[in-house]
Amino acid sequence: MFEIKDKFYLNGEPFKIISGSFHYFRTVPEYWQDRLEKLVNMGCNTVETYIPWNFHETNRGEFRFDGMRDIERFIRLANDLGLYMIIRPSPYICSEWEFGGLPAWLLKDKNMRLRCSYEPYLNAVKDYYSVLIPKLAPYQIDRGGNIILMQLENEYGYYGNDTAYLEFLRDTMRELGITVPFVTSDGPWSEEIFKSGMAVGALPTGNFGSAAEWQFGQMKKFIGEDKPLMCMEFWNGWFDAWGEEHHTTSPEKAAEELEEILKRGSVNFYMFEGGTNFGFMNGRNSGSKTGDVTSYDYDAPLTEDGQLTEKYKAFRDVIGKYADIRTIPLTTDIRRSSYGMISCTGRTGLFSVLEKIAEPVRSVYPLTMEDIGQNYGYILYRTKIKDGETVNELCLENAADRVQCYHNGEYVYTAFAENMYEKFEPNEKRTGGIISLLCENTGRENFGTGLEDQRKGISGGVKVNDHRQFGFDIFPLPLDEEQIGKIGFDEGYSEGVPAFYRFEFEADELCDTFVDFDGFGKGCVFINGFNLGRFWDIGPQRQLYLPAPLLKKGKNTIIIFETEGKAADFIRV
């Protein structure tokens, strides 16, 4: 039995939660146990995870709980290691994850209103919870499991103040069998924000990275003196965005902050291990134009590839003052190596294989990804210029996020960020022919009040010579495993345009390694059909982590999709 009174109580005894955030969806399942064992050895008694809605209901009504999505297996592993669990299954999670965990298909509704009492949104949440919550309920501590807390929503005070919506989440979870206590979490530095995220029947907790004495003091003003204090997200590091600096926090400073928290209450490290934004699942914070990098290392106590850091050791020393630390053996054999320089064995241009890998949708006007049922990746718009018309000027209306324009297969310009809606005059004037517009979804915003404006592709128009162009073939390019499998490398190749590059190597021993994309510009990398994530030569990330379980003995195939016409003959793996 777990109770919230003046303190947290476990089976009638006071209990200090010492928890670490570890996201099952950012680490291959073969390594879950290794990371959890290291969490135990650092001194934690609890593990916390979000559950991202878009990871499990990939398309409406299509649910997946297999492989990397097997949340029940993750819960059982934690239980076997004697770890309690905090589950944060709220429809929105932020977490620098694509769209904050909300599924992109919600935006197919042109009137969609998110995170409030808009009936179609609530119906979608109810349908999702009707599948998810019954999977979690049997693992609650009062049923013999290890789940001690559930979170209603995430940092809701930053978004809105619809109390009825929070009550809907609470009541729906209760109806579906949740009996453990609820929590909310918000920043304590603003009374208005903190109180807007509170809900009757849920303990408010705080998210912060420093000044614990002051933060907890603020929280007491809002929740009273008779409730336990908890930092639900102790930000012991930070995330990175493309083109910006790599963020770190010194182990000494982080350890000092941890001690200030543990003197006064309970803690959940954000993050214990960050992991990787595999595929196209990186988020983008409001105000950022580039999107977050593939690595979610977060400067956490464990590195992206699971290695102990000085911060890990410093935290262990602090935790040892407040709890007895168990030490258990590490049972996963993880080897690290390099496979050397790998040469390119095939290359083909996107325009050469386009019609073989994608079926076009024909429309008078541009349609967004959401309009055609696509969630992530790229989308290409192709339109024919009338015979005799010379293209003197091009301009986009309402497009996201990055658009590259080609005329008869020749690069014209890139529309992005500040210049997205500028008029562009081509240096070389061409008459007639085909205009191709390759649009990249760089990651939907995961924080802020702009969530409803995250439709991707072209939602307005394409203006040619100051008039709207009509008549489009729209090619969905989700670059999922099925589409990548259709690529042939004997279809033709031209330099300077988007293209696919194939690299092959033999592996006798399966080891963790990194893919170095030096010499390539911007794009994404696939290993044996699995999308490792994005790369971009503007940094700060210079390599992509490749965990051994994604390799196979014998021949392995890496395919790089590069959009800037910048490529090398070799890569290092």
- Average pLDDT (199-203) is 97
Which numeric CATH code is attached to 15-319?
Answer: 3.20.20.80
**Nearest-CA neighbor of 154 among 103, 202, 106, 88?**
88
**Nearest-CA neighbor of 462 among 370, 392, 394, 363?**
394
Report how far residue 263's alpha carbon sits from residue 266's, in angstroms, rounded to the nearest whole number.
9
- Choose, from 96, 233, 257, 564, the residue flagged as catalytic: 233
pLDDT above 90 as % of the chain = 99
Q: How big is the CA angle at 114 (ends 293 and 363), to the nearest 5 degrees?
A: 80
Domain 365-470 class, CATH top level: mainly beta
Per-residue 3-state assignment (H helix, E strand, C coil) for 70-93: CHHHHHHHHHHCCCEEEEECCCCC
- DSSP strand E in 350-498: where? 361-363, 378-384, 394-400, 402-407, 410-416, 434-440, 457-464, 467-468, 472-477
Count CA atoms within 13 Å of residue 450 on its CB side. Answer: 12
Model confidence at 295: pLDDT above 90: yes
Cβ-count burial of 192 within 10 angstroms (0-12 exposed, 13-18 middle, 19+ buried)?
A: exposed
- pLDDT for 457 equals 98
**537 neighbors 522 (Cβ within 8 angstroms):** yes
Name the CATH superfamily for 341-348+481-572: Galactose-binding domain-like (2.60.120.260)
Report how far residue 423's alpha carbon sits from residue 393's, in angstroms, rounded to the nearest whole number.
6
Q: Where are the domains of the chain?
A: 15-319, 341-348+481-572, 365-470
Q: Is the dihedral of CA 335, 336, 337, 341 positive or negative?
A: positive
Q: Which helix (H) or strand (E) holds 163?
A: helix 163-175
Model confidence at 102: pLDDT above 90: yes
Same fold, 341-348+481-572 and 365-470: yes
**348 neighbors 455 (Cβ within 8 angstroms):** no
Q: Across-strand partners of 555?
A: 506
**pLDDT (tens digit, 9 = 90+) per residue, 145-161?**
999 999 999 999 999 99
Q: Across-strand partners of 503?
A: 344, 558
Scan for tokens 């191709």, then name that residue.
Answer: 436
Report how far residue 84's alpha carbon sits from residue 165's, in angstroms, rounded to the nearest whole number.
28
Give the SS3 label for residue 224. coil
Verify whether residue 155 is a known catalytic residue: yes
- Average pLDDT (389-411) is 97
Pairing state between β 46-50 and 57-59: unpaired
Model confidence at 288: pLDDT above 90: no
- Choose, from 98, 155, 273, 564, the residue flagged as catalytic: 155
- pLDDT for 565 equals 97
Give the SS3 label for residue 483. helix
pTM (2 d.p.) = 0.97
Pairing state between β 230-235 and 202-208: parallel
Q: Which residues contact 470 (CB under 8 A, 6 or more apart)?
A: 364, 365, 383
* Averaged pLDDT of the chain: 97
**184 neighbors 474 (Cβ within 8 angstroms):** no
**pLDDT (tens digit, 9 = 90+) per residue, 9-39?**
999 999 999 999 999 999 999 999 999 999 9
Give the SS3 label for residue 439. strand
- pLDDT for 287 equals 82
